[in-house]
Amino acid sequence: MKEAERMVQRQILQRGVTSPRVLEAMRRVPRHEFVPPSQRLFAYQDRPLPIGRGQTISQPYIVAYMTEMLDLRPGDKVLEVGSGCGYQTAVLLEMGAEVYSIEIVDSLREEAEERLRRLGYEKARFFPGDGARGLPREAPFDRILVAAAAAALPGELVRQLTPEGRMILPLGGPYDAQELALVTRDSRGEPVMRSLIPVRFVPLVEPRP
């Protein structure tokens, strides 16, 4: 796939993502399959694209960077908050993760599940619900990836991390400066947060009353 290889070489590797496993996952997932037909011409460009319902697919570099910062090990149990179109889900599956993906927009979740099955990614588990609350019945998780911006660190998600777990998420309001944060836990179980890079994500969707 020439476009995917070009994407990896020019947009990801040259910007500092060097994990061989992440780079190979980004090569293998057919990004054009995860965007609407009207956007396929732009699928491998380094920018977010609209996928409908006010949501976007993140730019390739951000997907690769977030995945690398998770420091995934094969078999890790991963909670993905915000399935979206399923692209990040597919990258996590290519990395050998056991993925539990939560999406509040029913139509997006159903389409993502069907798309992944059609492409041969059959191991992801999809759940409806409020991403900020996570999936307590399936916890704990080795890794948590949040694909929408939270105004503040969701304490419930921190509590669902294993003691040695890692969570990556964008923090900030929809009209404020946002930053990508890496969260771990100290010896007392308290969150330790490290700011990484400035980002721009759509906000977490609030559940309807």
- Map out the domains of the chain as residue ranges: 2-199
> Which tens digits make up the pLDDT trace of 153-167?
999 999 999 999 999
Q: What percent of the chain has pLDDT over 90?
A: 83
**Residues acting as catalytic residues:** 58
Q: Is 53 left (phi over 0), alpha (psi -120 to 50) or beta?
A: left
Grade residue 206 by pLDDT with cuts at 50, 70 and 90. low
Determine phi and psi for 173, rounding to 5 degrees: -75, 170
pLDDT digits (tens, 9 = 90+) for 140-198: 999 999 999 999 999 999 999 999 999 999 999 777 889 999 999 888 888 999 999 99
Residue 208, classed as helix, strand or coil, is coil
What pLDDT was estimated at residue 209?
44
Q: Could you tell me if 15 and 61 are in contact, meaning their C-beta atoms sit under 8 angstroms apart? A: yes
Please count the CA atoms within 13 angstroms of the CA of 121 that sit on its side-chain side.
Answer: 29
Architecture of domain 2-199: 3-Layer(aba) Sandwich (3.40)
